[in-house]
Amino acid sequence: MQLDKMVAFHKAVGDPTRLRIIALLRQGPLHGQAIAGKLGLRPPTITHHLKKLKDTGMIYSRRDKNTIYFYLDEKKLTFMAEAVTRIGDEKVKTDKEWQVTEKEERQILQNFITVDGKLKQMPSQLKKRVIILAYYVKAFQPGKTYEEKEVNEYIQTFFEDYATVRREWIMHHFMYRENNRYELNPQEMWPVVV
Amino acid sequence: MQLDKMVAFHKAVGDPTRLRIIALLRQGPLHGQAIAGKLGLRPPTITHHLKKLKDTGMIYSRRDKNTIYFYLDEKKLTFMAEAVTRIGDEKVKTDKEWQVTEKEERQILQNFITVDGKLKQMPSQLKKRVIILAYYVKAFQPGKTYEEKEVNEYIQTFFEDYATVRREWIMHHFMYRENNRYELNPQEMWPVVV
DNA sequence: TATCTAATTAGTTATATATCTAATTAGATA
DNA sequence: TATCTAATTAGATATATAACTAATTAGATA
């Protein structure tokens, strides 16, 4: 996550009214007037705050007739909130070391994957590892959740040490776990290689 | 964590200069002039920013001769950064439901703990559970780290299901885990009952 | 005590922003 | 099309704040 996005996120969250909006939406979606009512503020004020929150991507909206409902995306919120605890680690990814061409990527996949699709070994170099992880994780369906057993079984179709692969998917934010079920993260949370 | 502390935290972090300071201090402590030098800013500007960061508690300082070194407290940073993802949950704790007198606490401990110190069962009511968890966690030494095995063994001196207790200690921020070792959190991160 | 170094405080300026009222827009429905 | 509702935009005001220079303070040491 780059610096100015992080600044925007924390500026957005660093306001009592907006924190109260987040707290409300954690309970479920609401429309603007309802938020204004609950907070004792005028609708334009709510529009103003929702815009800032929407700009970060943590809130989206759906229209139903004349009413627009606002939803909190808790996964994104969590991801962005935790980003500051990893600040500086990302620097690597903006280095030219991390620029990967299509050709290079093909080459890396070819080097580490057998013709019948099995992973020969987990690359020790971070960049290569991320490319491998991204390649295999695409088998999961966005929005669908999986049991740990399913995840393990899938990994074992291409690599013996399923625990490592599963752990790395979580660590690099390809997937996340909630209530012992696994789900793909939106691509924008993935490392920026592929 | 209460609202205004959260606002102050995110306001503090929501500034590019201060994020860069956090990134620097994650590598290790630095003194003011060094930070000013690395960021291309004047010392008073650094004082200004460090004050805001110190006010949140995420930074502390130690003097060595004429030079003051600034340190980042990563545990606190993590705790505060993640607080927004739990916003609203805390409300319970300010309800009168959550006011616990000394007498009540003694009563609860007596109800759930046998005369020889064993936990009869884990209370299902959150308030009571937190009191029990706080009681037993005090056996750990602040600042010391423990292996998972040690933690399990200690729990088994008073309760069979060690996994549950360990998990709840983490969940309620009595302890945290890093590199598979366990450590007590500062009391201010504990639930506010006891 | 005088002097040195690093940090802080005071005061200034330019910019950003939270909130309001009034006016306007976007869609739905009679 | 006329009208209704919810949301947004425009414009105003008050407050907050990031950066600077100049002056001061806090501790160390000659």
E strand or H helix that includes residue A61: strand A59-64
Query: Which residue is nearest nucleotide C9, judged by alpha carbon to C1' distance?
Result: B44
Mean pLDDT (whole number) for B29-42 = 95
pLDDT of residue A96: 66
Residues A158-188: b if buried by 16+ CB within 10 A, e if exposed: bbeebeebbebbeebbbbbeeeeebbbbeee
| Calpha distance B17→A76 (Å, rounded) | 24
pLDDT of residue A95: 63
Contacts of B19 in chain A (CB under 8 A): 3, 6-7, 84, 87
Q: Identify nearest nucleotide to residue A43 by CA to C1′ distance.
A: D7
pLDDT tens digits for range B164-194 = 999 999 999 999 998 889 999 988 888 865 4
pLDDT at A146 over 60: yes
pLDDT tens digits for range B116-170 = 999 999 999 988 999 999 999 999 999 899 999 999 999 999 999 999 999 999 9
Whether the domain at B3-84 and the domain at B88-189 fall into the same CATH topology: yes
Q: Judge whether B133 is closer than 8 Å to chain A, CB to CB.
A: no
CB A154 within 8 A of CB A184: no
Q: Residues for chain A: how many in total?
A: 194
Confidence of residue A94 (pLDDT cuts 50, 70, 90): low
pLDDT at A194 over 50: no
Question: Which amino acid appears at position A74 of this protein?
Answer: E
For the entire predicted model, the pTM comes to 0.84
Q: Judge whether B121 is closer than 8 Å to chain A, CB to CB.
A: no
| Calpha distance B64→B34 (Å, rounded) | 14
Query: Which residue is nearest nucleotide D4, judged by alpha carbon to C1' distance?
Result: A66
Tell me which architecture the domain covering B3-84 has in CATH. Answer: Orthogonal Bundle (1.10)
CB A44 within 8 A of CB A33: no
| Calpha distance B33→B98 (Å, rounded) | 47
Mean pLDDT (whole number) for B60-82 = 94
Confidence of residue A1 (pLDDT cuts 50, 70, 90): confident
Mean pLDDT (whole number) for A125-136 = 93
pLDDT of residue B194: 43
Displacement of CA A192 from its chain's centroid (Å): 12
Q: Judge whether B20 is closer than 8 Å to chain A, CB to CB.
A: yes
pLDDT of residue B180: 84
Using CB atoms, pick whichever of A9, A15, A77 lies closest to residue B85: A77
pLDDT of residue B117: 95
The DSSP secondary-structure symbol of B86 reads G
Fold assignment, B88-189: Arc Repressor Mutant, subunit A (1.10.10)
> Is strand C in 7 Å reach of the CB of A187?
no
Domain borders along chain B are 3-84, 88-189
The DSSP secondary-structure symbol of B186 reads P
Contacts of B22 in chain A (CB under 8 A): 84, 87
Displacement of CA A116 from its chain's centroid (Å): 30
Mean pLDDT (whole number) for A41-65 = 95
| Calpha distance A75→A160 (Å, rounded) | 30
pLDDT at B22 over 90: yes
- The share of chain B scoring above pLDDT 90, in percent, equals 79
- Per the model's pLDDT, the better-predicted residue between B73 and A100 turns out to be B73
Mean pLDDT (whole number) for B27-53 = 95
Q: How far is the CA of A45 from the C1' of D11 (A)?
A: 14
Q: Where does residue B186 fall: left (phi above 0), alpha (psi -120 to 50 degrees), or beta otherwise?
A: beta
Mean pLDDT (whole number) for A122-148 = 94
Using CB atoms, pick whichever of B15, B27, B78 lies closest to residue A7: B15
pLDDT of residue A98: 72
> Is strand C in 7 Å reach of the CB of B138?
no
Nucleotides in chain C with any atom closer than 7 Å to protein CB: 4-11, 17-23, 26-29
Q: Judge whether A20 is closer than 8 Å to chain B, CB to CB.
A: yes
Q: How far is the CA of B86 from the C1' of C17 (A)?
A: 27
> Is the Cβ pair A10, B7 closer than 8 Å?
no
Tell me the average pLDDT of chain B: 92
Q: What is the dihedral of CA B39, A15, A4, B72, to 10 degrees?
A: 40
CB B98 within 8 A of CB B89: no
- The share of chain A scoring above pLDDT 90, in percent, equals 78
Of B58, B106, B78, B72, nearest to B170 (Cα)?
B78
